[in-house]
Structure 1
């Protein structure tokens, strides 16, 4: 057990009992506990298997490669519409977790077996992203921006592009591109500090 996770759960304001239950289940499956991304993360041979967290409306158990799970019980959901790999299970009470404990154990064991077998998610990458027009225009004006953007990993490029193309107004898209230019030029992703 990791003392940082003890502190995390002690500081939980909405779902501490649910987090304790999920923690117990994950540890009983032989996973190693760590803190990553400011949340309790459970690994096998340094590979991320699952993470738990507290949201406003619920407590969640997320599987990093959840799209590989069979999900016979139909309890997994995508955390976002653009998510390709992760899947989550949401809880609003300890009783829900207890009722699903055998299913959760089966899903955790399946995730562990998938990791041991070396299974990977087949990410549907767009080789050619349909870039925001405002980004294209800025890259034509500033060749260093084009080089820096192309040097980013495909995932970082995709994250930026999703962020840039989300607003309906061109003015907003352009302001987002301009605000992100220093990070792109520094080789950082959208969420990097």
Structure 2
């Protein structure tokens, strides 16, 4: 595999963790994965699909397997960093260079590559259709321009408007919130754009 200069720069900035990252990187480079930077960290891909990422944190260096849930993990090395939330991702953490068993790490990485080639992956769940509060629904039905403007927003921004109205307990408050956001919607301004 060809080295990516951005990964060289990433590792050079990691001071205390440089040696550990270099060992882990050498394992990744011994495979047929492509080395790249995504979200500011080294990521290793097969056919454009993320297989493994590496990074350095305050108290450890980590490898994360994007579809690690499918790894056999006979040696009990992998953890789910957010139990109940994280579906596919699994991490393997190291603090000392001597903890990195290169042959064992390579076996896990090769299994992850094979799983990716076989198409084993957890796809993100599709979000449920948003239930538009009746006060907003009425306003959109009565004003076609407002409806068209609302539909131009991303689902995320639509959800912000919907939740803003739906969280009001009183009908009078919901109606006043609809009045407040109508000019924003017509002007293409998201509810929280001023904070972004």
State the TM bucket, normalised to the shorter chain. Answer: 0.5 to 0.7
Q: Aligned residue for 2:60?
A: 58
Q: Please report how far the alpha carbon of residue 59 of structure 1 lies from its aligned counterpart in structure 2 after TM superposition.
A: 0.4
Give every structure 1 segment of 4 or more consecutive aligned residues whose post-TM-superposition deviation is greater than 2 Å: 125-129, 135-144, 146-152
Task: Give, in whole Å, the separation in 2 of the partners of 1:138 and 1:26.
Answer: 55
Tell me the equivalent position of 2:10.
8
Q: Could you say which residue in structure 2 is the equivalent of 1:112?
A: 113
Instruction: Determine if the alignment matches structure 1 residue 17 to structure 2 residue 26.
Output: no
Q: How far is 1:148 from its partner?
A: 7.9
CA contact (8 A) 2:67 2:120 kept: no
Match of 1:92 in 2: 95
> What SS does the aligned partner of 1:15 have?
helix
Q: Give 1:119 deviation, angstroms.
A: 1.5
Residue in 1 that maps onto 2:36: 34
Q: Distance in 2 between matches of 1:138 and 1:77?
A: 46
Give the match for residue 155 of structure 2.
Answer: 151
How many residue pairs match? The answer is 157
For the residue of structure 2 that corresponds to 1:113, the secondary structure is: helix
SS at match of 2:116: helix
Distance 1:32 1:148, change over 3 A: same
Q: What are the within-5 Å matches in structure 2 for residues 112-191 of structure 1? A: 112-121=113-122, 125=125, 151-152=155-156
SS in 2 for 1:52: strand
Tell me, in whole angstroms, the C-alpha distance in 2 between the residues paired with 1:102 and 1:118: 24
Whole-Å Cα distance in 1 between the matches of residues 135 and 27 of structure 2?
Answer: 50
Out of 44, 47, 50, the position equivalent to 1:48 is 50
> 2:139 and 2:31 mapped to 1: Cα distance?
52
Change (3 A) 1:138 1:107: farther
Q: Distance in 2 between matches of 1:22 and 1:142?
A: 57
Which structure has the larger Rg over C-alpha atoms? 2
Aligned 8 A contact 1:14 1:54 in 2: no
In the TM superposition, what is the alpha-carbon distance from 1:122 to its structure 2 partner?
5.8
Tell me, yes or no, if the aligned pair for 1:18 and 1:59 is still in contact at 8 Å: yes
Query: In structure 2, what is the Cα distance between the partners aligned to 1:104 and 1:15?
Result: 17
The runs of 5 or more residues in structure 1 that have no matched partner are: 165-181, 188-192
